Homo-oligomer: A and B are copies of this chain.
C-alpha cells in the first residue's frame, strides 16, 4: 500500500498566508469533516485542525466502523455455526469452538489505514479542504485559535467538533488490565475466555455478540430493564432478547456494576441484581459499553455553556452562547450518531454563511446491532395507541400461527428460516386507522438499516397506507411492509393483519 503522508508526524495542508479564516473547525471527525466540506462547497475559506493522525475521527479509527465490523463477523460466525448442521456447509467450530480474536483485530488495524488514506485523498484532492493533522488546537477566544509551533490563527468563526471520549463508570477496578472501552480495545493482546460487557447499549451489544460468536463465555450487565432505553415495543424487545438468549447470551438487567476485581489484571466483577443481592461473575475481560462524554473542556475556559453531561449547549442553528462559536457532533451530547454529526456540521456551515437552517433532531431512524439489526422509526404501537387511539398494525410473524413462520423476514434468511428459527425475523408497521397515516415501524433482521432512513422520509411526508401500498417494491424483506400493507389497504375500515 502507498500512503500519501507519514501519519506519525504533523501534516499541514493549508495556505499559511491567510490572515483571517472564515471558519476554523476544531476536529476533523464526521462532523468537522462534513461541516468543512459543506463550508468549502458553499465557498467559505475553512481550516480544520485535527489532533489525531487522520481525518474521519473515531468512527473509522475505533468506533462505528469497528462496531459494524465486529457485528458483521458475529453474524457470519453465527450463520456458520447454525449451518454447520447441514452436510453441504463447511464444518464448524474448529479449535474447540473458540475463534481467535487477535487476528480479527489485526485485520482491522491494517484495514483502517486504507480508510484513513482514502479520507485524506478525498478531503485534499476532491473536496479541497485545508487542514492540519496530528496537531492540537487551543481556543484563546472566539476568534483566535493556537497550535503549538504555529502560533495564532485568526478566524471569524469557530466550530467546535472535537467529539467525545469513552465514559468510565465510577467503580473500583476500572484501571485493571483487561478492562476496555472502544477507545483502547484494539490494544487487546491476549485471547479472553470469560467476558463481561457492561451496558446492553448500542455500543455494548455488538461487542457482546462478537465475544459470544467467537466462543467466549459472555455476560451482559445492564442497569436498566433490558433495552428499555430504546423506543421499541415489548414484542420487538422480547424477540431481540430471545434471539440473543437462544445463542447463549444472557442479559442481566436491572443489575448494577459494583466493582471490577483482580490484582494487576481483572479476575471478576461484582454486580448487584434487582433482588439487592451481590454476586460475582468470573471475567478475564471487561468491556465498558457505557457511553461517551463530550470533550467540551477545550472551550469551557472561554465561557461556552455546557450541560450536566458536559455537552455544549447549542441552539437549532448550532450556535453556542458565545457569538461566533458554534458546535456540532458528539460534543453537543444527546444521541451520538453519524447523521447527527454530519448534518450538524452542514447546518453550522449553512448558518455561518448566511443560508439559515434549523437542525431538527427529534425524529430519526435508528438501529441496534446484536446478531441481527433491530431497527425502528417513529411511534411504537404502545405510544400510538395512547396518543392516536385507533391504530392499525401489520405484524409478522402473525400471532397465534402454530408453525414457525416460513417466510424470510430479513435479507439473507430465505428458506433457512423454517429450519433455523434463529434466522427468521420480526416486523411491524403501525398506521393511524382513521387518517390511514404511517406512524412508525420496527424490524428485527438484516437489511432494515438500508431502508429505514427512507421510511423516515415517508413518515415525515405523512404517507398513508394507500401510498405505501402503491410503492413499487423489490421482492420482499424489509419491503414486506409494502406488500403486507397492500393486502389490507383495500379496506375502508382497516383491520389488523398479523
Residues of A within 8 A of B (CB): 1-2, 34, 37-42, 64-65, 68-69, 72, 75-76, 79-80, 83-84, 86-94, 99-101, 103-104, 107-108, 110-112, 114-115, 117-118, 121-122, 126-127, 214, 338-339, 342-343, 346, 349-350, 363-367, 375, 398, 401-408, 411-419, 446-458, 469-479, 482-483, 486-491, 497
Across-interface contacts of A472 in B (CB, < 8 A)? 339, 343, 363-365, 453, 456
Contact A450 B453 (CB under 8 A): no
Across-interface contacts of A455 in B (CB, < 8 A)? 454
With beta carbons under 8 angstroms apart, the residue of B79, B112, B339, B419 that contacts A474 is B339
Across-interface contacts of A483 in B (CB, < 8 A)? 34, 338, 342
Contact B449 A475 (CB under 8 A): yes
How many copies of this chain does the complex contain? Answer: 2
Across-interface contacts of A117 in B (CB, < 8 A)? 403, 406
With beta carbons under 8 angstroms apart, the residue of B38, B93, B103, B365 that contacts A490 is B38
With beta carbons under 8 angstroms apart, the residue of B94, B407, B476 that contacts A90 is B94
Across-interface contacts of A39 in B (CB, < 8 A)? 490
Q: Smallest CB-CB separation from A104: which chain B residue?
A: B88
Contact B338 A473 (CB under 8 A): yes
Contact B93 A90 (CB under 8 A): yes
Q: How far is the CA of A83 from the CA of B107 in the complex (A)?
A: 12
Q: Smallest CB-CB separation from A41: which chain B residue?
A: B490
Contact A450 B471 (CB under 8 A): no
Across-interface contacts of A482 in B (CB, < 8 A)? 453
Q: How far is the CA of A110 from the CA of B363 in the complex (A)?
A: 43
Q: Smallest CB-CB separation from A108: which chain B residue?
A: B415
**A122 to chain B: closest CB distance in Å?**
7
Q: How far is the CA of A75 from the CA of B416 in the complex (A)?
A: 14
Q: How far is the CA of A477 from the CA of B89 in the complex (A)?
A: 28
Contact B418 A110 (CB under 8 A): yes
What are 27 A-B residue pairs whose CB atoms fall within 8 Å in the complex?
A: A37-B486, A38-B490, A41-B489, A41-B491, A69-B415, A76-B83, A86-B103, A86-B107, A87-B100, A88-B214, A89-B99, A90-B93, A108-B415, A110-B418, A114-B418, A115-B407, A115-B418, A126-B497, A342-B483, A343-B486, A346-B490, A367-B474, A367-B475, A412-B446, A449-B475, A454-B454, A457-B458
Contact B487 A473 (CB under 8 A): no
Contact A474 B452 (CB under 8 A): yes
Q: Smallest CB-CB separation from A83: which chain B residue?
A: B76
Q: How far is the CA of A107 from the CA of B440 in the complex (A)?
A: 36
Across-interface contacts of A449 in B (CB, < 8 A)? 474-475, 477, 479
Contact B450 A366 (CB under 8 A): no
Q: Smallest CB-CB separation from A68: which chain B residue?
A: B414
Other 16 A-B pairs with CB < 8 A, given A84-B90, A343-B472, A366-B474: A65-B414, A86-B103, A87-B103, A90-B90, A91-B94, A110-B419, A112-B415, A114-B403, A121-B401, A339-B472, A342-B486, A343-B470, A364-B472, A447-B450, A450-B477, A454-B455
Contact A406 B111 (CB under 8 A): yes
Between A64, A84, A414, the greatest number of chain B beta carbons within 10 A of the residue's beta carbon is seen for A414
Contact B87 A2 (CB under 8 A): no
Q: How far is the CA of A93 from the CA of B90 in the complex (A)?
A: 7
Contact A339 B473 (CB under 8 A): yes
